[in-house]
Each structure stands twice: as C-alpha cells, then as structure tokens.
C-alpha cells in the first residue's frame, strides 16, 4: 500500500502507477461512516470466530478442521497430495496470522501469539515441505510479525521485551530453505526436508525435475527482506539468481513464461493427461503456476527500487495485454503460439490480477476483469476454483481464497468508488451465510450445492481479513500507517524502509534507484532531479486523480454494465433432448440402458455381450465375429468407442453432487455434507424445497431386508450402510416402511469426498420407476459426522437438496438463534442454470437415464473390444489404490468433537448477540 511513488525519469513515462490516493484524489462516498463501521466490526467478529476456534480446537496443529473441530496434523489425516506440502508441524496458521492481529488492533493477542511461537514452534522437524509455501507463509509470516513487533516496540507501549526473536527464527527458516537452491540453474527444488535438506537418503527429496514458475519466482520479497534485516546477503543473492534464470528462459518471441519449468535444463514443460511431456504446447497465463511471479517483479521494484525488475515486468505486461488479456477475460495461450488459446476456462487464482493492474496503473482492464469476477461470484456465491468462458462451473471447489477481496480493496483505494464497498459487503454476507460453521469457516466442497470441506487454510486468516478490514476501515481506525509497508503475496507486511538497508550488489549494467522512507520523499526527488527545473506538474501522474481519470462519475459504471449483461445472458438452459444424427450407429452410448431389453438385443446383434460381475459392475465385451453382419460389427466397434469416450468424459467431469444439510440444533443449517445422487428416485435438482426430515438408523442397518423398526422409520429419513445388496433394493425396503428419504453411508472406513471421486448410485437392472423417494450417498467421513451428531443429539433433522439452502429460507421467516446477517438472495435463481460445465457433449437428461458410471478398456484382449461400466454396487469398490494404514484414532474423539461444536455454538451465538447490542 502506497500513497505516492517517485520514479527515475527513464521509467516515469512507462509506468503510470495507480496507487493509494491522497485526500486530494478522493471522491464522495455514498456509504455512511456508521455503515462502514458496522461492516468493519463484522470483519473483526468473523476473524475472532476463526482465530479463536483455531486456538481452542487446533493449536498447535498447522490448520483447523472446522467441521470436526480438531487440528489437521500431517500424517494423522488422509493425504491430500500437494496441498499437504504446506504443513510442516510448525503451527502454520498461528505464524501466518501474526501481523493480521496487529492490523486488526489486537496487540495483546499479538504479544501472546509471539510468545507462543517462540516457546512452542519447532523448525527442525523431519518433514518434507513446499519451498514456495514455506517461504510465503512461514518465512513471510515471521518477517511480518517481526516488522509489527519492531513497530509496536518503537511506540513505547508494547513488546518492550522483544529482542528480534522472530527475526532469528526467520533466518533459521531461510537457512533450511537454502539447500533447495543448490542446482545448476539456481531454480530451487520444489520441496525440501526441514531437518535434512536435499538429496541425502534421509531427506526424501532431490529427485524432482520440475517446478512451477511461481514457485521459483516468488522468493525475492521474503529473501531480500531477510537479507536486509539480518545483513546477510546470501538470501537475496539466491532469489535474484532464480529470477534471472526465469527471465533468460522466457519465450523470446512472445516474452511470456510457461507454467512449469525443468529446474536443471530450463526447458518449459507441460504434463499431458497420461503423464507424457510435451514441450511444444506449454501454457502461459496469469493464473495458477505463474501468478505471483509477475506480482513479485513489480513489487520487488517497489520494495527494493531496482529498475531491472520494473523493466522486466513492463515487457511481460505488454505481452500479457497483447496475447492473454481479452477484456474481461484472461485466457491461457500456448507459449510458442501465443495467438492460439490453450484452454476455455480460467482458474480463480487470476483474481489477483486486477489488483496488480491497479498498482501498474492500468485501471480500465482492472475494472472490467474485476466486474466479470464479481458477476461470477454472485451467480455461484463464491468464485469457483475454475470456470468456463461462458461463466459456468469447471471445478466446483472454493477453499476461501482471498484474491478477489484483494483486488476489490485495491480498486476501492484507487477509485474511492462506493460500488466496491458493496462488493465487499457481498463477500462478507456469503462467507457468513454459506461458509460459517460452529467451529470456524469451512471451505466449499462444491459451490453449486453449498457442501463443505473440512478445511480452513491459513491464508484465510492471513489475507482475507486484512483486505476486508482495510476495505471498510477509516484512516483513524488504523494504529499504524499501512502505506509504509508493502503486502507480499500472502499479505504479510514488509516495511518500505528496507530499500535503504544494505543489500546484495546489483549487476553493473543495472541502474538502481533506492526509494527512501516516505517522510523524506520530497527532498529525495528534488535531489534526484536537481538538474531539471521542476514544478508540481511533473508529478501529476504519480498519484492519479480519479476526477481526471474519470471526469464522468458514471464512467466506471459504463465499463461494468456491459460485462454484467454478458454474464447474465451466459446461462441458457441446456437442451433436454438431442436427435441422433443421420448415418450414426443404431444405438448410441449415451442412450444405452442396461435394463432395456431392446438395447440388449441391439448389443447382441452388434456382437457385444454384457456380463454381470460379482462386485456389481457390468462388463461389455465385443466379439466382432459374433455380430450378425459386417455392418453390425462396425456399428459395434463405434458403440464401444463411444462408450470409452463417454467413460473418459465422465471421469473428467464431476457428477452432479447433492447436499445433506443439518438444520436442527445446534447446527441450524451451518453444516453441509457432500453427497452423491442416485440414478433413480426423486430428482432433487427438480425440487424447489428438497426433502426435510429427522434421521434414524434403519434396522437392519444394511437395509437389505424388511425393516424391523418400520414404525420408527415412518415419516423419517433412513440411514443405511452400503453393501450386501443393491441400492434400489435398499430404497424399496425403506420406502415400504414409510421413509421419506434415505442416506446410504459408505462402509469403507476412511473414505471421504475430499479424496475419492463422487459416487453415483445406479439401479439394479430392472425398472426403478417404483422408487419415488430420494436416496443419497455419503462417504464414510461425512456419514460419520452425521452418525455422531445423532448419538449426541437424539433428534437430528436434515435437508436433502440439490444445493444448500440459505438459512432464512430454511426457517421460513422464523427467528433464527442469534443474528441472521444481512444477505441478498436476488441472485439465487440466476444460478440455477449455471451449475454445470457446458462443455460436456452429453446432455444431462441422457446421463440421468444411463446406468453407466465408469468404463475401463481391457487391454489384455487385443482381438476383442471390452469396457466395464459400473452399474450398481453392493460391497465397496476400490477405485483408488489401497490407502496407507492410518494411525488409530481415539474412539472418544468424535464425541468430543460434537461436544466442542455445541460449546462453540453457544459462544458463537453470544458473539452475535454482543455484536447486535454494540451496533
């Protein structure tokens, strides 16, 4: 954050940097001071809810698991792959949150947190971590905490005991990361062992060949700050060397960089779908894998004053605007053929880019792209992890990322347009309506249904609440001047005064201008430009006046309106039927139903036989010699090929999930579980209200015989265990007992929607029109949450629906326990038609009729075409390799988790009531 910057004359014309505006740059505000205060206090209350739950239920673990009210300890929970590389058993969330505490005026809590870090955190753990994540979160967090501690100590009121302890820990982290840079290129290995470094047999590292561009190029701010704080140049030297190598390896024709690079050869790499590598179609964009590389080039210039970084950024930026930016879209292109788009979807990490454009001074495309992101957010409540160019969901997760809030803040500070305050209000409302749970805030498993993931990443506390607080705060609300600091990519605060600290020498050809501390800027600029006659007009563009940029107050709105209209019109209803084309085979794969006698006869004529396997799947095998004719055999080959293509398509796409929302005390709709649908029974996607009722366990639990507790099941939703019989048989038994719905819970202990593909239940090969109730499937982990709630609270009510419902609609206007925060539902209906990716070639209605879930080609039979569709399952199917054996979990832990949920819920209500009283 910067009020003003002065630049060397050679760069003044190329960088019209749009930065935080002085009082002379402000326009009138339509939101009252009282309303902003209310929203600012709401941000603080939300932070308290997240932070206190981490400290109460998770610390000293790295992260909080908000659905089960416990800490995430690496090795004790099922692996999430690369996501877990951020966890190093070093109380990640606490370190990442240090400078947030100070920004939110929680100096007492900050002092206590620093003492905890110094006392409890170990950095010599024998664990392999991500170099990138450890740098931005842990090293950055310690440096941000040190900066705040020094600032508070200088005021004379707090931290008088502090003797640079956090800085010493930061240097320890830096030294543990340095071995990763021991490569011929200077690019770091992507992972390092905190205790053993790289390459030693005990380190379990050093075998990787590739890293992402952002991973190697997002080091300079933290490493340079560490060097200048400590006086040891080694860190800045290594970070600069990595950036120099990336610059040299840019594609010289397009001046773009790729997503992945070989750390030894420097070749750009893209992994294909089957693990093969292609070096001719490497993607380039501004999203995942590249994003913060561009961010750090510009911010390194701002923090360190080195023109070289600015020159490189400007060259890259010109190419981005030429090839990648198609306002309001930002689309990946092929690095060697930049006029050729590489994909038809965008990932959510590019939401930082409008904020970076604000710092660059390119305000118009920043407004346009941000507006597109806002409209997508309004349609889906959150920004999906990826969305298509027609603004549909591509990847449905949302791990509470802060990039959109970041860009909202920068646009508001640059324009003072109150529109962005309303955008911030929307972000707050959605977090409280859809992500807030009794033990914190849960990431969204699927934005279409509102289902949750048991995850609250450290960046949520490190970044989200900083930007939202600053968005609504007035200058007098802040205890220090944030314009004296720069935000890292993790929103950690580094002082601009580091530009005058001793540092590594720059290359001789580079002209470096060191920016002094802000109070002395005027004298500095006058001395720098002493050879020229200067007046105020020389600096008109160092702090752009929005009245000059936007002489018509309606101008920003004129940029936004066409984009809003384009997004609104991008969700046409999908066609329900599609007529087969002429000349096609007599039976299409997407039309095939395993229980249709006519279809089975057509298969026989084409030489295709259907075999029922013991595990419940059906296998399709073609024997061309058994077809009735050569033409029929050819039709059979086409059918098998279509079936394999359909299988591949289905494996790529997520099946439409459903939601199980716990609406009874003490959850009140705040906990949503991801569930899989059935291909029979009530279609919840066509139900406005869903099915709501109390749950009860069926007896027998398998549901494979008439229920002995039918009288108790009547009018309720039955809980069933997977296995022993077909799903449709279970549905018929509970329906006969008078149940209004059913939930099948996986019997494969440890299974979770976090790690397993969504499961869709098929029929039994017979007509299932007689099943008229909804049946949903929960994996073991999600089902156990429901079962434990039932043990603790004898009456548990749930809502079965296609997506989580807003609590106001659930309770139909009745007073909610605590305050129901202001929310607007005007976009709810808009989202109905935007829930799926339109790129699928198979109509949704056709897939609903199909009994085929997955197909696998049998490569062992070269003379026969064979695929195996999964029809319906009794025993659990092993879709993935056997998971590693998990440590034994305390049997009382789940009960304690529910008790913790109850206790925290009471605290949550009290906090809401207190906030109401204060406001």
Q: How far apart are the first and last CA of the chain?
A: 30
And the tokens for 258? 């790729």
Query: Per residue, what are the HEC states of 648-689?
Result: HHHHHCCCCCEEEEECCCCCCCCEEEEEECECCCCCHHHCCC
DSSP class per residue in 199-225: SSGGG--S---EEEHHHHHS-HHHHHH
Q: Based on the residue annotation, tell me whether 769 is a catalytic residue of this protein.
A: no
Give CA–CA dist 666/329, Å, rounded.
43
Sorted by sequence, the CB contacts under 8 Å of residue 536 that are 6+ apart come out as none
Q: Given 210, 222, 291, 865, which residue is catalytic?
A: 291
Instruction: Determine if residue 489 is labeled as part of a ligand binding site.
Output: yes
**Angle in degrees, 0-180, between the axes of helices 597-605 and 630-652, rounded to the nearest 10:** 120
Give CA–CA dist 180/491, Å, rounded.
24
DSSP bridge pairs for 72: 63
User: How are strands ordered across the β-sheet holding 691-697?
Assistant: 671-675, 658-662, 797-801, 691-697, 717-721, 741-745, 775-778
Q: Count other C-beta atoms under 10 Å from residue 655's C-beta.
A: 16
Exposure of 525 in the CB half-sphere (CA atoms within 13 A): 20
Q: Given 133, 295, 635, 871, which residue is catalytic?
A: 133
How far, rounded to the nearest angstrom, does the alpha carbon of residue 199 sit from its chain's CA centroid?
32
Q: Count other C-beta atoms under 10 Å from residue 335's C-beta.
A: 25
- 275-287 as b/e, with b when 16 or more CB fall inside 10 Å? eeeeeeebbbbbb
Q: Given 63, 111, 306, 403, which residue is catalytic?
A: 403
User: How are strands ordered across the β-sheet holding 277-278?
Assistant: 210-212, 260-262, 268-271, 277-278
DSSP 8-state class, residue 537: G
Q: Given 385, 406, 635, 642, which residue is catalytic?
A: 385
- β-strands 717-721, 741-745: how paired? parallel
Q: Based on the residue annotation, tell me whether 403 is a catalytic residue of this protein.
A: yes
And the tokens for 447? 């934005």
Total residues found in the chain within this entry: 919
Q: Based on the residue annotation, tell me whether 232 is a catalytic residue of this protein.
A: no
- Radius of gyration (Cα) for the chain, nearest Å? 29
DSSP 8-state class, residue 135: I
Q: Based on the residue annotation, tell me whether 385 is a catalytic residue of this protein.
A: yes
Binding site for Ca(2+), by residue number, is 489
Q: Which residues are part of the catalytic machinery?
A: 133, 291, 385, 403
Binding site, by residue number, is 489
């Amino acid at each position: 954050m910067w009020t003003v910057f002065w630049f060397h004359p050679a760069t003044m014309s190329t960088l019209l940097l749009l930065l935080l505006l002085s009082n002379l740059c402000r326009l009138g505000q339509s939101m009252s001071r009282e309303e902003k205060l209310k929203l600012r206090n709401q941000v603080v209350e939300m932070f308290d809810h997240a932070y206190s739950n981490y400290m109460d239920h998770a610390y000293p673990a790295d992260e909080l698991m908000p659905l089960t009210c416990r800490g995430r300890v690496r090795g004790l929970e099922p692996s999430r792959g690369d996501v877990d590389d951020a966890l190093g058993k070093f109380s990640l969330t606490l370190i990442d949150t240090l400078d947030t505490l100070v920004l939110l005026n929680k100096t007492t809590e900050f002092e206590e947190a620093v003492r905890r870090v110094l006392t409890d955190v170990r950095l010599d753990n024998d664990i392999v971590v991500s170099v990138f994540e450890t740098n931005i979160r842990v090293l950055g967090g310690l440096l941000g905490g040190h900066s705040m501690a020094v600032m508070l100590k200088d005021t004379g009121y707090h931290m008088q005991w502090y003797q640079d302890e956090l800085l010493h820990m930061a240097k320890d982290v830096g030294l543990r990361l340095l071995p990763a840079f021991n490569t011929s290129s200077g690019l770091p290995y992507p992972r390092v062992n905190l205790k053993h470094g790289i390459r030693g047999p005990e380190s379990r590292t050093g075998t990787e060949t590739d890293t992402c561009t952002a991973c190697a190029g997002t080091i300079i701010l933290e490493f340079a700050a560490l060097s200048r704080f400590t006086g040891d140049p080694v860190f800045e030297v290594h970070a600069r060397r990595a950036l120099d190598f990336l610059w040299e390896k840019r594609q010289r024709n397009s001046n773009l960089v790729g997503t992945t690079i070989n750390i030894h050869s420097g070749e750009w790499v893209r992994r294909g779908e089957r693990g093969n590598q292609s070096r001719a179609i490497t993607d380039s964009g501004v999203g995942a894998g590249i994003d913060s590389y561009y961010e750090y080039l510009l911010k390194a210039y701002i923090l360190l004053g080195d023109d070289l970084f600015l020159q490189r950024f400007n060259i890259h930026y010109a190419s981005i605007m030429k090839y990648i930016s198609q306002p309001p879209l930002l689309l990946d292109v092929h690095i060697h053929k930049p006029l050729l788009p590489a994909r038809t979807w965008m990932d959510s990490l590019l939401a930082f880019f409008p904020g970076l454009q604000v710092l660059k001074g390119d305000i118009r495309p920043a407004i346009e792209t941000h507006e597109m992101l806002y409209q997508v957010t309004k349609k889906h409540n959150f920004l999906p992890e990826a969305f298509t160019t027609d603004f549909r969901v591509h990847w449905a997760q949302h791990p509470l990322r802060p990039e959109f809030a970041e860009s909202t803040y920068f646009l508001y500070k640059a324009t003072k347009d109150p529109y962005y305050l309303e955008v911030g209000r929307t972000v707050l409302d959605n977090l409280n309506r859809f992500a807030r749970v009794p033990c914190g805030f849960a990431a969204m498993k699927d934005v279409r249904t509102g289902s949750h993931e048991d995850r609250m990443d450290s960046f949520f506390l490190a970044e989200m609440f900083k930007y939202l607080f600053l968005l609504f705060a007035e200058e007098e609300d802040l205890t220090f001047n944030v314009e004296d600091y720069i935000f890292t990519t993790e929103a950690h605060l580094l002082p601009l005064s580091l530009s005058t600290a001793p540092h590594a020498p720059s290359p001789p050809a580079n002209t470096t201008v060191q920016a002094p501390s802000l109070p002395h800027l005027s004298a500095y600029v006058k001395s720098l430009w002493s050879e020229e006659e200067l007046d105020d007009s020389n600096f008109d563009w160092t702090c752009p006046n929005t009245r000059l940029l936007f002489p018509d107050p309606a101008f920003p709105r004129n940029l936004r309106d066409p984009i809003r209209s384009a997004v609104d019109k991008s969700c046409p209803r999908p066609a329900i039927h599609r007529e087969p084309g002429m000349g096609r085979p007599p039976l299409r794969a997407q039309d095939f139903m395993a229980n249709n006698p006519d279809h089975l006869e057509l298969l026989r004529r084409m030489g295709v036989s259907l075999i029922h396997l013991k595990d419940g799947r059906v296998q399709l095998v073609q024997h061309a010699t058994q077809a009735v004719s050569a033409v029929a055999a050819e039709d059979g080959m086409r059918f098998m090929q279509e079936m394999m293509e359909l299988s591949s398509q289905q494996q790529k796409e997520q099946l439409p999930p459903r939601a199980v929302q716990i609406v009874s005390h003490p959850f009140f709709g705040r906990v949503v579980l991801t569930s899989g649908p059935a291909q029979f029974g009530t279609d919840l996607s066509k139900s406005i209200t869903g099915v709501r009722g109390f749950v009860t366990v069926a007896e027998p639990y398998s549901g494979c015989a008439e229920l002995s507790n039918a009288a108790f099941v009547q009018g309720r939703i039955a809980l069933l265990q997977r296995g022993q019989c077909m799903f449709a048989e279970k549905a018929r038994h509970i329906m006969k007992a008078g149940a209004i719905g059913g939930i099948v819970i996986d019997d494969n202990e440890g299974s979770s929607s976090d790690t397993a593909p969504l499961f869709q239940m098929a029929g039994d090969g017979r007509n299932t029109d007689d099943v008229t109730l909804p049946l949903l499937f929960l994996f073991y982990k999600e089902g156990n949450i429901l079962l434990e709630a039932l043990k603790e609270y004898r009456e548990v009510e749930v809502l079965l629906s296609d997506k989580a419902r807003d609590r106001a609609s659930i309770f139909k206007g009745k007073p909610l326990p605590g305050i129901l925060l202001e929310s607007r539902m005007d976009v709810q209906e808009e989202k109905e038609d935007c829930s799926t990716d339109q790129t699928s070639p198979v109509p949704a209605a056709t897939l609903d009729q199909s009994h085929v879930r997955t197909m696998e080609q049998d490569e062992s039979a070269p003379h026969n075409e064979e695929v195996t569709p999964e029809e319906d399952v009794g025993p659990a199917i092993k879709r993935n390799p056997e998971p590693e054996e998990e440590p034994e979990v305390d049997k009382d832990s789940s009960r304690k988790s529910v008790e913790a949920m109850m206790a925290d819920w009471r605290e949550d209500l009290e906090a809401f009531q207190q906030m109401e009283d204060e406001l």
